[in-house]
Amino acid sequence: MEILGRKSILIILDAILVNLAIIAALFIRLDTIPGNLLTNYLNYALFFTAIRLGIFYQFGLYNRVWQYASIGELVSIIKAVSLGTLAHVFLVYAFFSGDFFPRGVVALEWMLNIILIGGSRLLWRMMRDGYSKRRKYSMDSKPILIVGAGDAGVLVAKELRNHYNGEITIVGFVDDDPAKQTLKVLGCDILGRREDIPSLVRQYFIEEIVIAMPSVSGKIVREIVDICQETGAKVKILPGVFDLIEGNVTVNQIREVEVEDLLGREPVKVDLQSMSDYVFDQVILVTGAGGSIGSELCRQIVAFYPKALLLLDICENNVYEIEMELKEQTSIPLVPLVKDVRDKEAVNQVFKEYKPRVIFHAAAHKHVPLMEENPEEAIKNNSLGTYFVAQAANLHGADRFVLVSTDKAVNPTSVMGASKRIAEMIIQHLDRSSKTNYAAVRFGNVLGSRGSVVPLFKKQIARGGPVTITDENMIRYFMTIPEAVQLIIQAGALAKGGEIFVLDMGEPVKIMDLARSLIKLSGFEPGEEIEIIVTGMRPGEKLYEEILTSEENVNVTTHKRIYVAKPNNLNTSLIEETMANFLQGKLPYGQIETERFLQSFLPKFKIVCHDKRQPRDTMKIIGLGGGQGEGGCGVCGVWTKGPVPLSIEKYLDKKIGL
């Protein structure tokens, strides 16, 4: 009813204005209106008015929210008025012998219609925005400072004013651009640069600071957040460009600063056409569909309209949750499959029954310390499971198989990383003789995934600390889950067979800095209110992660964030023997057998002394390799797993300047 009432008011107003425009045009052109002209017009005024209003309706002038009117709405008004004027001219010359009005009146009437119709809409917006009279803020309105006087800052200011009206006062903007200093934006002053924020907070009693710089790097965001946190004001942020849709901003998008903002990266740009070409109208299988990466793969894949999506996971709760979530988003057929990738018969039955054309293999054990304690399970799930799914893809003629791998597969010091490296070797071997295109995608840590350090830190902070890190020099690469998955799907489009795609992970982040930032974002002071404790490196951990082995040569792809490596020197006989053993159920059992199995593929893989009583300082260092200490144990005689701290520190000093 309210909408109909608003439309009725606009229609009545326009009816008055279009007639007023003609009468005003006659007065301007003729000074006085001859009686015959006025009589002629009044006889046909209803007819002409109906034509005008009908054209206005067709151009949607009564279906717009005019309090947000902009240039687009003005263009629509000009088009509608122009068409209406042409219609009038045609009718006059067709039915009234061309002497209905003097010709000069037509141009004046066209111009006055644009002014009156457009002006009425502008007045509506002015009344909505409060520009018709100076705003009177209440004494208890919240003073807000906006960091960033660009497009995003303007959008934030408008949204805050529209939503909160007199509840907030936008004191002004801060921007580092020298050309903007002393200027005004939306009637508010640009008060200075980022270094002026503390003094501005004190001067204007700022209660809240909104960072509206969605396209800047994480480094700049960190610097600004550090400055803002010193002031005691509440800090909020506009999401990155990746999260904004067509420049629209809502109050709900202006949120608390998260750690993802501090790690801000250049938004991912993908070739949607190439991604759609190999997913559209195909049966797609995602293994590990309920995990962090697998579930996001499912969310993004349905946007490309596959024929069907197979959701395979060993955990029934995971399958149920992702199926229920996707059912609310899409009508694409979903097939929930509670299966184990280690069950060869079950995997083959899935391929036989549903015939998937594209497989994203995300099922894996990923927890490094847990796999150190259960090494044979890493082989079963990560190596054998990959082989069973990859071999089924080959036997049933799938088009493409994409293995979700990890940077821990490069020069692995962990059982988990080594098991994933063997999985890479297996699919590369299969690619040599199969019509299926096999590829692997390597990337580092993803924020928010299960087992990620960020959720752990948040839990520790919520308990009041301490926050634990394993080494103060440890660094990692981070991506968001949606970003990683977009690049996985894009890499699948680039696959020709046998490649290992390496994702550009951006700048490395020191875990110590990450812990401190997260503590500050939670409103505490690191080292004072929340303690940080260094616990020592866990078995299988590295201070840093690599993306390529020494045998791999990296090449660029058509996507600037994806690189490709095609290693050779695969041990064909060993891989074939291993696959034969997998088919016969022959697997390594226990720690020693598993580690020897891994060493058969990776001779430099270093393992721990099996005498748990053996002190670390009895290990005899006999050489350095790649920054790692390699040595023999006086008790069991096997290789010892690095790192040797001094060697790694020297290596890091040389390589990345830590």
Segment 428-471, tens digit of pLDDT: 999 999 999 999 988 777 665 666 677 788 888 888 888 888 88
Q: Rounded to whole angstroms, how far apart are CA atoms 15 and 7? A: 12
Q: Hey, which residues does 255 pair with through a beta bridge?
A: 237
Q: How confident is the model at residue 150 (pLDDT cuts 50, 70, 90)?
A: confident
Residues 248, 239 contacting (CB under 8 angstroms): no
- Is the sign of the CA dihedral 588, 591, 597, 602 positive or negative? positive
CA 157 to chain centre: 24
Residue 298: pLDDT above 70? Answer: yes
Q: Rounded to whole angstroms, how far apart are CA atoms 653 and 126? A: 61
Residues 342, 349 contacting (CB under 8 angstroms): no
Poorest-confidence range of 56-60, 320-324, 476-480, 604-608? 604-608
Q: Which residues contact 398 (CB under 8 A, 6 or more apart)?
A: 351, 356, 357, 358, 359, 436
Q: How confident is the model at residue 140 (pLDDT cuts 50, 70, 90)?
A: low
CB atoms within 10 A of CB 43: 9
Q: Rounded to whole angstroms, how far apart are CA atoms 346 and 339? A: 7
Residue 385: pLDDT above 90? Answer: yes
Give mean pLDDT, residues 108-131: 74
Residue 299: pLDDT above 90? Answer: yes
Q: Which residues contact 515 (CB under 8 A, 6 or more apart)?
A: 457, 467, 469, 526, 532
If one compares 244 and 169, the residue with the highest pLDDT of the two is: 169
Q: Which residues contact 168 (CB under 8 A, 6 or more apart)?
A: 141, 142, 143, 144, 160, 161
pLDDT, residue 392, reads: 97
If one compares 92 and 514, the residue with the highest pLDDT of the two is: 514
Give mean pLDDT, residues 575-582: 93
Task: Give the per-residue SS3 of 202-214.
Answer: HHHCCCEEEECCC
b/e burial code for range 609-623 (CB count within 10 A of at least 16 → b): beeeebeeeebeeee
Q: Which CATH number fits domain 272-446+479-505+550-565: 1.10.10.10, 3.30.10.20, 3.20.20.540, 3.40.50.720?
A: 3.40.50.720
Residue 501: pLDDT above 90? Answer: no
Poorest-confidence range of 289-293, 400-404, 551-555, 589-593? 551-555
Q: Sort residue 305 into left (φ over 0), alpha (ψ -120 to 50) or beta.
A: left
Q: Rounded to whole angstroms, how far apart are CA atoms 257 and 239? A: 9
Q: How confident is the model at residue 241 (pLDDT cuts 50, 70, 90)?
A: very low
Domain boundaries defined on the chain: 2-129, 142-257, 272-446+479-505+550-565, 606-658
Q: How confident is the model at residue 312 (pLDDT cuts 50, 70, 90)?
A: very high
pTM beyond 0.85: no
CB atoms within 10 A of CB 554: 12
Q: Rounded to whole angstroms, how far apart are CA atoms 324 and 290? A: 11
**Amino acid at site 437:** N
Q: Rounded to whole angstroms, how far apart are CA atoms 361 and 288? A: 7
Q: Rounded to whole angstroms, how far apart are CA atoms 181 and 580? A: 72
pLDDT, residue 239, reads: 65
Percent of the chain topping pLDDT 90:
26
Q: Rounded to whole angstroms, how far apart are CA atoms 578 and 572? A: 10
Query: What's the topology of domain 142-257?
Result: Rossmann fold (3.40.50)
Could you give the 3-state DSSP secondary structure of residue 164? helix
Residues 223, 257 contacting (CB under 8 angstroms): no
- Of the candidates 266, 285, 304, 421, which has an alpha carbon nearest to the alpha carbon of residue 362? 285
If one compares 313 and 521, the residue with the highest pLDDT of the two is: 313
If one compares 257 and 643, the residue with the highest pLDDT of the two is: 257
Query: Are domains 142-257 and 272-446+479-505+550-565 of this chain identical in fold?
Result: yes
Catalytic residue, candidates 344, 380, 408, 420: 408
Exposed (0-12), middle (13-18) or buried (19+): which is 657, by Cβ within 10 Å? exposed
Residues 122, 129 contacting (CB under 8 angstroms): no
On average, the pLDDT of the chain sits at: 77
Active site residue 408: yes
Give mean pLDDT, residues 164-177: 84
Helical H segments across 302-343, by residue range: 316-327
Could you give the 3-state DSSP secondary structure of residue 146? strand
Q: Rounded to whole angstroms, how far apart are CA atoms 176 and 233? A: 20
Give mean pLDDT, residues 581-594: 89
Residues 475, 543 contacting (CB under 8 angstroms): yes
Strands 475-476 and 509-510: antiparallel
Residues 300, 328 contacting (CB under 8 angstroms): no
Could you give the 3-state DSSP secondary structure of residue 117? helix
